[in-house]
Amino acid sequence: MPTGRPLRIGITCYPSVGGSGILASALGEELARRGHEAHFISYERPFRLPWGSPGIFYHPVVINDYGLFKYPDYTLPLSVKMAEVSRDFNLDVLHVHYAVPHATAAILARSMLPAGTAPGIVTTLHGTDTTLLGRDAGYGPAIRHALESSDAVTTVSEYLKGETISHLAIERPIEVIHNFFEPRPAKRSRQEVRAELGMREGEAMVLHASNLRPLKRIDVLLECAARIRPRKSFRLVILAGADFSPFKSEVERLGLTDRVIVREQVSEIEDYLQAADLGLFTSDVESFCLSILEAMCFSCPSVATAVGGIPEVVESGRSGLLVPHGDTDGLARAVESLIKDPGLRVSLGAAARLRARECFSAAAIVPRYEELYRRVCAQGGKG
């Protein structure tokens, strides 16, 4: 890894619950721990970003709702704040997570600064900006321009790199830097968490964590749970990053009221991860699936659909079980196999934890970002 002076990195992400904001927050923490400065620029403080940590700064973006505009504008005030923070703190790099509007705002901010003083721009794609917005004629050209104008572009999986090249016809180099997770110590014991959840002796705790967006297919998750036999062998614990109430009628229809436990907006996710026996993820598509990695760090193997970047995270049969997309019954049978065979759970879980440490830890991933930042700085004359 190249060495040199501490860097000053501006980071912009969506601060709400989701993999991109979680990754950006964790990256800022790790950069600060390594002696760099991490300046977060967003309309809200990212929900997992710690308070009072040395080297971490938060700069709020004020959004004014002028009657002139039909909808409040975020891109312009964000670009102004980016330029302001870049100037006042002499930032080396603006690292933006999601192309629109963050990379667009960063490019505009750079144009506001005197030549030779502007930071480099690193854009990390997490999924939706390629797989959804990239196909939209109203966004595709703007996303393509943002990527072509960035000094470096990364994706969180080989799958997403391929999708970006395919959908956006991008010809510039794209570097794959996978997500990472560095768990904090759990604050409660496994027994305390399971007691709080009302878990009975012999019940397996099946964990799902997501922001409940449509591509997470919560309907398939619940249908899968309804097919697991015996019915009283498990509880499905859902850590919901959004309002779960739209799914309550489905829980009742499937007769899962006594099998499903929901906790919304959980900040101490490690407490639940270390109490879980296995994870269950039924997405239509995933660029990476950070929730699976979080479970892996606690020796918790997952059953998941073999879609998107998930096969890059889970080695099926070695560190978890992957099932073809659309096979709800296959998902249920895979969960049953792990419930009935604790020895298999333990062996898969041990392999999952080892893979997480070797491939997706801060020690494995953060130096790659540091190297990328220094390369961008050298290209721009700020190295």
Task: Name the more confident of 370 and 72.
Answer: 370
Instruction: Tell whether 1 is covered by a domain.
Output: no
Of the pLDDT bands very low, low, confident and very high (cuts 50, 70, 90), residue 25 is very high
Question: Residue 1: what pLDDT?
Answer: 38
Residues 281-325: pLDDT tens digits? 999 999 999 999 999 999 999 999 999 999 999 999 999 999 999
| 33 and 177 inside one domain | yes
Of the pLDDT bands very low, low, confident and very high (cuts 50, 70, 90), residue 136 is low
CATH code of residue 269: 3.40.50.2000
Residue 174 pLDDT > 70: yes
Instruction: Tell whether 103 is covered by a domain.
Output: yes
| 223 and 263 inside one domain | yes
| 127 and 223 inside one domain | no
| 369 and 354 inside one domain | no
Q: Which of 14, 13, 12, 22 is nearest to 266 (CA)?
A: 22
Residue 70 pLDDT > 90: no
| 28 and 158 inside one domain | yes
Of the pLDDT bands very low, low, confident and very high (cuts 50, 70, 90), residue 2 is very low
| 35 and 54 inside one domain | yes
| 30 and 91 inside one domain | yes
Of the pLDDT bands very low, low, confident and very high (cuts 50, 70, 90), residue 382 is low
| 261 and 320 inside one domain | yes
DSSP 189-246: -HHHHHHHHTPPTT-EEEEEEE---GGG-HHHHHHHHHH-SSGGGEEEEEEESS--GG
| 33 and 163 inside one domain | yes
Of the pLDDT bands very low, low, confident and very high (cuts 50, 70, 90), residue 262 is very high
Question: Residue 51: what pLDDT?
Answer: 85
Question: Residue 276: what pLDDT?
Answer: 98
| Secondary structure of residue 254 in the 3-state scheme | coil
Instruction: Tell whether 117 is covered by a domain.
Output: yes
Mean pLDDT over residues 29-53, rounded? 93
Q: What is the 3-state secondary structure (H, E, C) of 301-350?
A: CEEEECCCCHHHHCCECCCEEEECCCCHHHHHHHHHHHHHCHHHHHHHHH
| 327 and 374 inside one domain | no
Instruction: Tell whether 71 is covered by a domain.
Output: yes
Enclosing domain of residue 87? 8-181+361-380
| Secondary structure of residue 22 in the 3-state scheme | helix
Instruction: Tell whether 197 is covered by a domain.
Output: yes
Residue 186 pLDDT > 90: yes
Type of residue numbered 264: E
Instruction: Tell whether 33 is covered by a domain.
Output: yes
> pTM of the predicted model, to two decimals?
0.93
Instruction: Tell whether 140 is covered by a domain.
Output: yes
**Distance (Å, whole) CA 211 – CA 215:** 10
Provide the percentage of residues in the chain whose pLDDT is more than 90: 80
Task: Name the more confident of 139 and 147.
Answer: 147
**Distance (Å, whole) CA 9 – CA 4:** 14
Total domains in the chain come to 2
Q: What is the b/e burial string over 64-87, where b = at least 16 CB atoms within 10 angstroms of the residue's CB?
A: eeeeeeeeeeeeebbbbbbbebbb
Task: Name the more confident of 382 and 236.
Answer: 236
Question: Residue 264: what pLDDT?
Answer: 94
263's enclosing H/E stretch is strand 260-264
Question: Residue 131: what pLDDT?
Answer: 58
Q: What is the DSSP letter of 50?
A: P
Kindly report the average pLDDT of the chain as a whole number: 93
Least confident interval from 92-96, 143-147, 310-314, 374-378:
143-147
Provide the percentage of residues in the chain whose pLDDT is more than 70: 94
> C-alpha distances in angstroms, 189 versus 182, 195, 272, 346?
19, 10, 9, 19
Instruction: Tell whether 81 is covered by a domain.
Output: yes
Of the pLDDT bands very low, low, confident and very high (cuts 50, 70, 90), residue 229 is very high
| 292 and 168 inside one domain | no
Residue 19 pLDDT > 90: no
Question: Residue 134: what pLDDT?
Answer: 45
Of the pLDDT bands very low, low, confident and very high (cuts 50, 70, 90), residue 266 is confident
| 332 and 376 inside one domain | no
Residues 190-206: pLDDT tens digits? 999 999 999 999 999 99
